[in-house]
Structure 1
Amino acid sequence: MSAVMKEVAEVYLGPGEFRFATCPTRLRTILGSCVAITLWHPQRKIGGMCHFMLPSRVRCSTALNGMYADEAIELFIRQARAHHTKPEEYQLKLFGGGEMFPELQRHVAFGDVARSNVNAALEMAALYRLDLIAQDMGSTGHRSIIFDLCTGDVWVRHQPIRTLH
């Protein structure tokens, strides 16, 4: 007996990219101070991921951009509605926001981008009343993320930065 296996589409998201897809798809990204948002509809096996870089911007155009947390969430909301689903039916998972240069933090005048991104992701989840079921954010270093739209599973490999004292 041979089982028929569906070929899984593998999609890599770079910084600022957003993708909404269906099973069988796996979405991947690598994060430092950026944050990945995953949304998955368990009954429909649809969802998406974004790799946002900053909390927000001063809007200079009407086109939404996945580089910003507030606009990425709006892209998700629009996709959920376009697929005749409600945003609150999705499971939300958040990843990233690792400080990449912890030894420089006390010397940098422009603030902590990683912490700002983590806070923005949590604020967007609360604002839109999304079902946050898992998160792996903060600390230092980078994370590799794989999101399987058939199961809703997200695999995370976190590589913290080892600081020398």
Structure 2
Amino acid sequence: MKTSLAYPRVYLSPGDFHFATEPTRISTVLGSCIAVTLWHPQRRIGAMCHFMLPNRRIRGNRLSGKYADEAFEMFMLEVESHRTLPGDYEVKLFGGGEMFPRHKTALVSAVPDMNIEAALQLAEQYHLNVTAQDIGRTGHRNIVFDTWNGDVWVKHKPLHQC
């Protein structure tokens, strides 16, 4: 087997989505955003999104990975196009950290919680098997997802309040 350095690497910025059919390392950095990983253990294919908000008020012509509901639709389109079933995938959820706990406003405090709720609700709606999660609290997370084995590495840096 090749070392992880030999596999393609993809970095997700906020709003990005990537589905890999070959061994790939997908990474991102999260604050209040959420990353969702899907991995098919038999086929060893998988995807990750980095969404920023639960939904948008006015739907566009194209799906956008910036929004939880649309990112999950993108997952389902890939699941269908690869002739697999949603329940065949292991799903992991990350992020939703409060980034400004000392500067609480209704909107700043609500975004991480709304993102977490959307991710959990959509996973249930699509009958996805959530096998792991590291969500909430404060601070940011670095996420690395290896599609060749389904491993997700998380480095969480919480904010310390004085």
Q: TM-score band, normalised by the shorter chain?
A: over 0.9
Mapped partners of 1:132, 1:4: distance in 2: 29
Match of 2:150 in 1: 152
Highest Rg: 1 or 2?
Answer: 1
Give CA-to-partner distance per residue, 1:95-137, whole Å, 9 cap, x none.
00000001112xx132511111011100001111100000000
Residue matched to 1:115: 113
Aligned-pair Cα RMSD in Å = 1.4
- Secondary structure of 2:154's aligned partner: strand
SS of equivalent to 2:63:
coil
C-alpha change, 1:4 and 1:78, in structure 2 (3 Å) is closer
Correspondence for 2:137? 139
Could you list the runs of 5+ residues in structure 1 that have no partner in the other structure? Answer: none
Deviation, 1:161, is 0.1
Aligned residues with identical type, % of pairs: 53
TM-score by length of 2: 0.94
Structure 1 position 87, deviation (Å): 1.2
How far the C-alpha of 1:82 sits from its partner, in A, is 0.5
Counting only pairs closer than 5 Å after superposition, residues 2-21 of structure 1 correspond to structure 2 as 7-21=6-20
Partners of 1:8 and 1:151 lie apart in 2 by: 12
2: distance between equivalents of 1:130 and 1:70? 14
Q: CA deviation at 1:5?
A: 5.5
Paired residue secondary structure (1:129)? coil
> CA distance change for structure 1 residues 60 and 5 in 2, over 3 Å: closer, same or farther?
closer
Instruction: Give the Cα–Cα distance (whole angstroms) in 2 for the partners of residues 48 and 28 of structure 1.
Output: 11
- The whole-number CA distance in structure 2 between the counterparts of 1:161 and 1:74 is 33
Runs of 4+ in 1 over 3 A off after TM superposition: 3-6
Give the count of matched residue pairs: 160
Paired with 1:17 and 1:36, the residues of 2 have a C-alpha distance of: 10
What secondary structure does 2:102 align onto? Answer: helix
What code does the residue aligned with 1:153 have? Answer: D
Say if 1:89 and 1:99 are closer, same or farther in 2 by CA, change over 3 A. same
Partner of 1:42: 41
CA distance, structure 2, for counterparts of residue 4 and residue 126 of structure 1: 36
Does the Cα contact within 8 Å between 2:23 and 2:45 map onto a contact in 1? Answer: no
TM-score when scaled to structure 1?
A: 0.93
Flag structure 2 segments of 5+ consecutive residues without an equivalent. none
